[in-house]
Amino acid sequence: MPQRLFYNSNNKEQNMQSFRTELENPVVEKDIIDLARKIELFREGKIHEEKFRSLRLARGVYGQRQPGVQMVRIKLPFGKVTFKQLLRIADISDEYGSGNLHLTTRQDIQIHYVSLDRTPELWSKLEQDDITLREACGNTVRNVTASPDAGINPEEPFDVSPYAHATFEYFLRNPICQEMGRKFKIAFSSSEKDTAFAYIHDVGFVPKIKDGERGFKVLLGGGLGAQPAIASVVHEFLHEDEIIPYIESVIRVFDRYGERNNRNKARMKFLIGKLGLEEMVRLIALERTANKFKTYKINRDSIAEPQIPAAVASIEAEDSLAYEVWRATNVFEQKQKGFYGVWVKVPVGDIKTDVARKLVDGIKDLVADEMRITANQGLLLKHVRPEALPALFKALNEVNLAEPGFDSLADVTTCPGTDTCNLGISNSMTFARVLENIVFDEYAEFVDNRDIKIKISGCMNSCGQHGLAHIGFHGSSLKAGARVLPSMQVLLGGGTVGDGIGRAADKVIKVPAKRAANVLRWVLNDYKANSIGGETFHQYYDAKGKDYFYQLLKPLADLTNLTDEEFVDWGHEETFKTAIGVGECASVIIDLVATLIFESEEKFGWAQAAFNESRWADSIYHTYTVFLSAAKALLLDKGINASTHATLIKEFDEKFVAAGEFPLAGTFNDLVLQINQNEPSEAFATQFMEQATAFLNQVKEKREALLQA
């Protein structure tokens, strides 16, 4: 039996020593020990359930639809994973999970059916191969994504991988983004084709060269979900040294003004809608003073070049026709002449652990030791010599991963849906397989069509990216008399245009889930019959108009002729019923006064620790959160739960300072917002901490007086 490394109250010192001997990074060690202790306190009833939820989410531990088990999300910046790391993750999945690896649309890997108590142990073992769970979920900066072909794309101005990596490193554990009102997403595309979908991110980047200098086109405020928004261009060219300070300023504004009570309105796109883009840009510029760095030099050499495979003898392809189709749809020449990139289509993003091991064993001598997970849940293999392609095809075929049509109509993107997700309404994974089979069996001419993308989500939240699909579906339900049946909302006309421009798909009609397969047939049949030669799907859709497709598909929405089979969802045998759990895409607000005061003291400890290490900017931001947590505690005593930091500051001034209940030399606003008016110096950090100490003591005295009264 392997040694158990999770925290156990009966053997605390031994378990703490286990983490210390396993890990070399003291910051990571502290993180894992802290999670173990928090689990123990939660089990003892000493941490409120909702507070504990936010703690574990920020450490990549997400509740599943199935009670008593967790999904663990592994954060892989820009989808990069080595063979050694993939094998480590496979071992972890076998030991702690279900023996399956799920590739996500944010270039992560998820493991399912993990016991909460074993998550610290799991994390500790992953960190031995430099793999983290930290901030893979929760109200934090999520995994920084990038075009998977970055570094080998013949059309790229330069490799964006180092920029994505630097962004990941800079914001991991950064005080400014640990307790935001909602998640925050960043993407880097490798070229103007925008294959990382910069236009649907909170901040998105498209690389540019101007006067011989590197920089980026910057997009702000994109997002999918139930109310998709296309990002606005805020910089046509921002110098490479300014991108991280710019993101920091954006996050500081989002943290202060972003919604915190209504999670459905808590994303950046809603804040911009509330304030206006011009005001948002102004506030971002104001925050520059407080940034840790005014410019930040990116280490262009931070991503080590993978080892190039040695030359191998060429072999004859066993099935020449299948090989040629695969080569035509899944292989491209890299910008490094004489080498090829190979796309691997992974059906519904699932790879069993035994397949993962066979895959690595079969390809390790044929490709570079670095794979990239793609946004459509596949893999990219790099630096393949032309003579090695037949052998690589053979190796992939032996593990059923040589399907042609990568990123084509035949490559459907999907989230896990009702298989494991709390928010899933209807099945998406089985439905995705059904649609892929339809394309292969009935529309073979579309297997190499990359103009049309199909994407499916189990609910309206768009984890499967249905909001940017040419043909999209999301799970829903319909009522027919007294009965409820699974359904699919059909969306059409979305997708990438290029250079930061994209289209949100239109909601067209809702149909019973079992008829949704015919939606694909009817749309493709009409496209074949009525599109003008050479017309793209977007041109065809725009020419016909949304109502045309509503009328085309309307017979499929007729509920007067339902069969019993249509009350059973794809992949199920039982009659459908809606069973939506509590979503954990962001943590829930904690309204416990005592907990907030305790948190204020804990945050002051973080501020002091950062100060002792001369990290002035970090210390100042921790101190800022001390003021806010302490003020919120007193406001909650009056039944006031402010929805933003800015509102909290205003309410405290009105209800306490102006009312004479809390004596301050000036206003609370002036006291707290010194943060964006001062350089992050030692002198200001010292002053701010002294002021926070006095304020926190006043709050505790006030709270005690209220309790006594």
Same fold, 320-398 and 413-567: no
Architecture of domain 320-398: Alpha-Beta Complex (3.90)
Give the model's pLDDT for residue 418. 76
Q: CA-to-CA distance for 371 and 369, rounded, in angstroms? A: 7
Check if the beta carbon of residue 61 is closer than 8 Å to that of residue 324.
Answer: no
Class of domain 413-567: alpha beta
Nearest 5°: phi and psi at 343? -85, 140
Give the model's pLDDT for residue 587. 36
Architecture of domain 9-127: Alpha-Beta Complex (3.90)
Give the model's pLDDT for residue 707. 75
End-to-end CA distance of the chain: 57
Decide which of 1.10.3720.10, 3.40.50.150, 1.10.760.10, 1.20.120.330 is the CATH code for 593-708. Answer: 1.20.120.330
Give the DSSP H/E element, type plus range, for residue 519: helix 516-530
676-692 pLDDT tens trace: 999 999 999 999 999 99
Domain boundaries, the chain: 9-127, 145-290, 320-398, 413-567, 593-708
What strand order describes the sheet that includes 471-480? 413-414, 454-457, 471-480, 483-492, 506-512
Residues of the chain with pLDDT below 50 are: 1-10, 21, 580-591
Q: CA-to-CA distance for 144 and 669, rounded, in angstroms? A: 33
Bridge partners (DSSP) of residue 624 are none
Nearest 5°: phi and psi at 169? -65, -40
CA dihedral 229, 238, 148, 134 (to 10 degrees): -80
Work out the number of other CB atoms within 10 angstroms of the CB of residue 45. 8
Q: CA-to-CA distance for 483 and 563, rounded, in angstroms? A: 12
CATH of span 145-290: 3.30.413.10
